[in-house]
Structure 1
Amino acid sequence: MCGIAGLLNLDLQPVDAGLLQRMNDIQIHRGPDAGDSYIAGPLGLAHRRLSIIDIASGQQPLVNVENNAVIVFNGEIYNFASLREELKGLGAGFRTHSDTEVILQAWKIWGKACVKRLRGMFAFAIWDKDNEQLFIARDRLGIKPLYYSLINGRQLAFASELKALQCLPRLDRQLDARAIADYFTFGYIPDPKSIFAGAHKLPPGHTLLLERGQTSPTIEQYWDASFADPFQVHDQQQLDEELIERLREAVGIRLVSEVPIGAFLSGGVDSSAVVALMAGLMEQPVNTCSIGFDVPSFNETEFARQVAERYQTNHQEHQVAVDDFGLLDTLSSLYDEPYADSSAIPTYRVCEQAKKRVTVCLSGDGGDELFAGYRRYRWHLLEERIRGLVPAAIRKPVFGLLGNYYPKLDRAPRYLRAKSTFQALQREALAAYLHTVSFTPESIFKQLFTPEFNRRLNGYRPLEVFEGYQQQFDGDDPLSLIQYLDMKTYLPGDILTKVDRASMAHSLEVRVPLLDHEFVGWANRIPAHLKLHRREGKHIFKRALEPHLPSNVLYRPKMGFGVPVARWMRGPLADTLRQRILRGHLQTLGIFNQKTLDRLADEHIHGTSDHSVTLWALLMFEASIRRSMTGDQVAAA
């Protein structure tokens, strides 16, 4: 796993070597083992290396045997050995045993179609000297990040992290108003936006090509998650067995490493499944790592311990205080732009502990999106059934009235907290799902921003993010649609971003077998009713795992990986909340309605309402923007 960066001056001026070096150095945490650069006139590529495969000869930037192409690469290609043999048969020459050189030679033989042959996680850039082309690609699911910026039509810059682009003196640092609206809706900024108007993320499954004479790049999609053509299931046991075999193969190809390897073991279904299959494939005991909390309601280590004992893993568990909120400013430096998932805190801690024993960890990320494990999926389908039974002419006014006047009972039993459900039922499906996942309730969102900032939005609605992806969806099932939406937004924007930054902060590589694109393509064809069966999410996944995992691991209530943010902000973080939200930097931006901020903080601290999610998003926004300031006033675009 590595960090990459690069510059291409379209005006043919020589690359500033010092600037490229600063971009590379600021990403040293991504690759502490080595760092180098390649400069040829207007083109410069830089690389930071975390050595995993071909430690002896896999240094980058890497030039091919013919000396007419050079690459920088972040990731792992799991089928590189078979591709190498195929390419050798087509006349390609190799001087290393690395997967990096396989990508480079695949480009020379197959051109931009090379990405369709790669199985793995990757972000890479190739400079083709003969054709004067810069080709950049990002993996299908967005496991590895890639930011880029076109500056004044004269320079294309790219990097693994936004902090490297912030080294550019001419980067447009105006805050993107639409990105801000998205952030307070989703809790992260979905692709292709970034917090800055002048920087963008290359979306997952896309390539970027800049050819001689072009002043802007061509961006194309080469892969998308498909839900078309579901299986006709005649033998459920056979399907269960095939699921395990396919996942076992996806796990197996991710065990190639020249450094110590292990796995995260939370005690949940997904990580436990990965550990169980690893144990059957490895000669040595699996190194497993768990994080426990000093409050039982947030602690899953008992279940992780059961799996570790069953498979005789080399298990270590570390207990941390549940009031571990001292990372607030650290997180803002890791994520570079506002990021509000508070589970980034325990994720950072588990990566910190894992790195003490291993350099590579397998994780169970992606299982909830793939097999419908989130509780919100169950509630959404229930709401969909009600929408189908009640005509819109009746549903909208009746449930709209109930949603407006039913009290917001944050501390009542769940069955009495119906306000959000009523509000969802008055909406159509897409808007209702956005309402379900939103960090900021619509009633607060409408009051959060100043009139001036709302004018800058010019009518933009974050719902447009979902609407755009709905047009690409090729299935016909309501559950598959929201799974697809999560695969395009929540998975890359939140889950994979969280794991990448937290792991790279400790120079730890994380591999995600459940997101192997071949496994994903197969799993997406499983009929939706086998994923969410009655009230049981991940039904087929759990059923297939019954021979491999204890029943109380498979069928216990989902806990998640959360922290008690609401309690923090009524106690030890209350003063920080007041200082940073009510009297701090946010007041100078002209974005937020100060009366609304005062009300949210006051109601939450005094316990009359729970605004913890929105307030945490505000705290992380303030910390991120304050850190990104470089002396020039940041203004909203």
Structure 2
Amino acid sequence: MSGICGLWDLRGAALPPDPLAPVMARLRRRGPDGAEVWQDGAVALGHASLVTTPEAALEQLPLRHGDTGCVITADARLDNREVLLTALGLDRAGGVIGDGALILQAYLRWGEDCVDHLLGDFAFAIRDPRRNAVFCARDHMGMRQLIYTYQPGRLFAFATDARALVTLETVPKRLNEARVLDFLDFQLEPVDDEVTFFEEVLRLPPAHCLMVDADDLRLRRTWRLEPEQPLRLSSDAEYAEAFTEVFTQAVRARLRSPETPGAMLSGGMDSGSVAAVAAGLLAEDGRGPLPTFSGTGPDVSRLETRLVAAAMGLPDIAPTAVRHDDLGALLPALRAWIDDLDDPFDGHMTMIAAVYITAARAGVKVMLDGVGGDTAFSQGNVLRHALAERRIRDIPRIARDTSLETGRRRDFWLTFAQAGWGLLVPPAIRRQRTPLTALRDRRREHRHIEQSLAAPELIAKHDLAGRRARLVAHLKAHDLDQVAHRAAGMTSPNMIVGRERYDRTAAAQGIEPRDPFCDIRLLSFILSLPETQLFREGFRKYLLRRAMAGRLPDAIRWNRFRDHHGYDFNKALFAASPDLGHAVLSCHEFTQRMVRSDVAPLLCDRDNAWNLGLWSRIVFLDVWVKMNRH
């Protein structure tokens, strides 16, 4: 991971000396290993380097191509370097070719279609003087970010994060009240792929590129996860072997680093699978052990605590436990992180921040995780799809699997009842909302809005009900067939905003996160699998569980239920921060206008216990507003 930025005066006026200085200062924590700026007339590009690949140590960005004058700045790790080197006819003996240089050569060969040839995590911008244009692109799954602002005929500017971008005097600094409403509602984080907390400052969506010239900005999608030929193998063992091969390839690609990478390790299947495979590969290469970092606690009666302990016994790892009951040494850094949040939504990432802080202090620059595991194995509503495809014989199996998963025998018969409704009632009737259903939905939405933290004026001004309807439309995948529905789940907006949170939280500590479950080769493979490899015998991720036999403890492999220590870390942080308490915190005037005046009753539950989940939203918003009060 590195930080990138750029500025272009579209009127053609020469920029003043060092025009990106404030942006580069903010990006320094993303890229502490060096900073460079290229400037020519009305255009400037910047790069703050975090050396996380062997080639990055020898590549200086921004990089200019002598013959064409094209210049690139890039935050990138390419996983198909050998394929690109061969396709581009580049001489490996001519010296080390960095990933930025490879992307520039791809652009010179294929133009805007260069993105179709890139595999990995990337965000980049190329100044092309031949077209008097700037071309920007972002990777398929949104592992790297690119934030931009565009004022037609006047200005185009971009940076890796929004708070860096708005340090420029020419960039609008108006807080986006609609996004504040999203935060106070909290469910609205993925309402669209572009909005930020600043008006006229936008996120380039994943799998998109843009081309801007003196007259126009054009945005287009570059990739969509599409169904491939279904995979049909003769046994579970063959499926497990094929999956292990692709999964190992995805993990190995993310081990490319000058130093030994680290890994997050919870008590679940996803991070455990990544860590187990990565540890084995590093041991084979003589680069082990794999440093792992686990958020946990002291209570062994908690299932998650016991599962984390089991995971920390994996071979070829060097485990570190980060405990929520022992944050003393981490508290100053955690408070510094809270007081300087890139985005209010990130405040709830206390456990993840504690893990990244601990890893950074251990000298780790690259951290593997398994955040995308749940969406990678997205299966959708298996009963609905079975009915749509008239697979009547599958209904008993689905009913049995559902009851095994939930542990409730009644769900076996409920599944049959739902199947009967789906088979006997015509689709036109099933799709109709009865007056009773419509009334129930309206009441539910009314209750939600009544209990919102947001001030009534804010709710009315930005139409909370309308934004919630937009969210439903944005997430909707109900009218797709089963495979297309799974593809939509793998790339869901919820997944994207989650990855962006991890990116910002890691960047604050100078760490690059890498997720093998976001490898599009792996996603394409999983999408080709039959449904029975995803959900069987009451177990989701059935194939992953089988593939990890002998690598993960059975207590983890066959566990259906998950606990989580994240809330414990939030509680510990607030308990150790009296100045964030309700009776002490003095909210900024802006926060007071955004939050309803009669909020106090909402902050206590029926037992008069303090609702930290709601109060912490107010705190995180207020801290962020104070930091950005300009």
1-structure distance, mates of 2:257, 2:486? 36
1:280 aligns with 2:280: yes
Structure-2 residue corresponding to 1:397? 436
Whichever residue aligns with residue 77 of structure 1, its letter is: L
Q: Distance in 2 between matches of 1:115 and 1:54?
A: 20
Residues 342-375 of structure 1: CA deviation (Å, up to 9, x unaligned): 2x11111211222214322222221011124999
Matches of 2:494 and 2:159, distance apart in 1: 22
**Residue number in structure 2 paired with 1:350:** 355
CA RMSD of aligned residues (A): 3.8
Q: Letter of the aligned partner of 2:564 in structure 1?
A: G
- 1:100-139: CA deviation from partner (whole Å, max 9, x where unpaired): 1100000000111111111110111111122222010111
**What is the percentage of aligned positions where both structures have the same residue?**
21
Aligned-pair distance for 1:459? 6.1
Alignment partner, residue 10 of structure 1: 10
Q: Which amino acid aligns with 1:20?
A: L
Distance 1:609 1:94, change over 3 A: farther
Task: Give how far 1:237 is off.
Answer: 2.3
Residues 1:41 and 2:38 aligned together: no
1:321 paired with 2:325, answer yes
Contact 1:47–1:72 under 8 Å retained in 2:
yes
- Which residue among 366, 370, 377 is the counterpart of 2:372? 366
| Counterpart for residue 255 of structure 2 | 255
- Residue identity in the other structure for 1:337: D
Deviation at 1:401, TM superposition (A): 6.5
Q: Please state whether the residue corresponding to 1:145 is helix, strand or coil.
A: coil
Cα distance change of structure 1 residues 393 and 152 upon mapping to structure 2, 3 Å threshold: closer
Q: Which amino acid aligns with 2:350?
A: I
Aligned partner of 1:346: which letter? M
- Is the CA contact 1:240–1:543 (under 8 Å) kept in the aligned structure 2? yes
8 Å Cα contact 1:148-1:200 kept in structure 2? yes
**Residue 567 and residue 334 in structure 1: after superposition, are their counterparts in 2 closer, same or farther (change >3 A)?**
closer
Match status 1:134 vs 2:134: yes
* 1:246 Cα offset (Å): 0.4
Do the aligned partners of 2:273 and 2:548 also contact (CA within 8 Å) in 1? yes
CA contact (8 A) 2:22 2:168 kept: no
Answer whether contact 2:226 2:487 (CA < 8 A) is retained.
Answer: no
1:563 and 2:560 matched: no
Which residue of the partner structure matches residue 448 of structure 1?
Answer: 454
Q: Deviations over 1:265-287 (max 9, x none)?
A: 22321122112212332222232
1:298-338 deviation per Cα after TM superposition (whole angstroms, max 9, x unaligned): 78565445445442323333434277877775445554232
Q: Note if contact 2:339-2:624 (Cα within 8 Å) is conserved in structure 1.
A: yes
Match of residue 217 from structure 1: 217
What is the match of residue 410 of structure 1? none
> Pairwise mapping of residues 427-438 of structure 1 onto structure 2 (< 5 A)?
none
Partner of 1:123: 123
What is the CA distance between 1:218 and its match in structure 2? 0.6
Corresponding residue number in structure 1 for 2:205 = 203
Question: Contact 1:92–1:105 at 8 Å: present in 2 too?
Answer: no
Paired AA for residue 582 in structure 2: R
Q: Does 1:585 align with 2:588?
A: yes
CA distance in 2, matches of 1:158, 1:74: 13
What amino acid sits opposite 1:61 in the alignment? P
CA gap of 1:554–1:95, structure 2 versus 1, over 3 A, is same
Structure 1 counterpart of 2:77, one-letter code: E
Q: Which of residues 509, 512, 515 is equivalent to 2:512?
A: 509
Q: Does 1:157 align with 2:152?
A: no
Deviation at 1:574?
8.0
Q: Which residue of 2 aligns with 1:82?
A: 83
Partner of 2:394: none
Match of 2:58 in 1: 57
Q: Which segment drifts farther, 301-310 or 385-394?
A: 385-394
Residues of 2 paired with 1:154 and 1:386: CA distance? 62
Count of paired positions: 586
Match of 1:470 in 2: 476
Written as runs of structure 1 = structure 2, the 5 A alignment for 1:528-543 is: 528-533=531-536, 535-543=538-546
Name the residue aligned to 1:428: none
CA contact (8 A) 2:240 2:547 kept: yes
Counterpart of 1:522 in structure 2 is: 525
Whether 1:619 and 2:619 are equivalent positions in the alignment is: yes
Code of the residue aligned with 2:342 in structure 1: it is D
Cα distance in 1, alignment partners of residues 297 and 76 from structure 2: 35
Asked whether the 8 Å contact 2:338–2:347 carries over to 1, the reply is no
How far apart, CA to CA, are the structure 2 residues paired with 1:273 and 1:118? 26
Q: Contact 2:45 / 2:62 at 8 angstroms: preserved in 1?
A: yes
8 Å CA contact 1:151–1:171 kept in 2: the answer is no
1:150 deviates by 1.2
Structure 2 equivalent of residue 429 of structure 1: none
Provide the C-alpha distance between the structure 1 equivalents of 2:43 and 2:519, rounded to a whole number of angstroms. Answer: 33
Q: CA deviation at 1:464?
A: 1.1
Tell me the residue number matched to 1:416.
none
Q: Distance in 2 between matches of 1:374 and 1:28?
A: 42
CA distance in 2, matches of 1:507, 1:175: 27
Instruction: Indicate the SS of the match to 1:560.
Output: coil
Check whether the contact 2:342–2:504 (CA below 8 A) recurs between aligned residues. no
In 2, Cα distance between equivalents of 1:560 and 1:93:
50
Report the alpha carbon displacement of residue 217 of structure 1 after superposing the two structures with TM.
1.3
> Which residue of the partner structure matches residue 69 of structure 1?
70
Structure 2 distance, partners of 1:566, 1:374, is 32
User: CA contact under 8 A between 1:269 and 1:554: conserved in structure 2?
Assistant: yes
Deviation at 1:261, TM superposition (A): 2.2
Whether contact under 8 Å (1:292, 1:300) holds in the other structure is: no
Q: Which residue of 2 aligns with 1:407?
A: none
Q: Is the 8 A contact 1:65 1:94 kept in 2?
A: no
* Uncovered stretches (5+) of structure 1, i.e. residues with no partner: 405-422, 424-434, 631-637
Is the CA contact (8 Å cut-off) linking 1:291 and 1:350 kept in structure 2? yes
- Equivalent residues of 1:78, 1:119 under 8 A apart: yes
- Measured in 2, the distance between the counterparts of 1:280 and 1:452 equals 53
Is the CA contact 1:14–1:42 (under 8 Å) kept in the aligned structure 2? Answer: yes
On the 8 A contact 1:264/1:361 being kept in 2, the answer is yes
The whole-number CA distance in structure 2 between the counterparts of 1:140 and 1:236 is 30
TM-score, normalized by length of structure 2?
0.82
Q: CA deviation at 1:456?
A: 3.6
* Range that drifts further, 279-288 or 451-460: 451-460
The more displaced of 365-374 and 35-44 is 365-374
Which shifted more, 483-492 or 50-59?
483-492
Counterpart residue identity of residue 353, structure 2: Y
In structure 2, what is the Cα distance between the partners aligned to 1:448 and 1:219? Answer: 33
Q: Distance in 1 between matches of 2:324 and 2:453?
A: 37
Against the structure 1 CA distance between its residues 484 and 560, is the aligned structure 2 distance closer, same or farther, given a 3 Å change threshold?
Answer: farther
Which has the larger displacement, 14-23 or 4-13?
A: 14-23
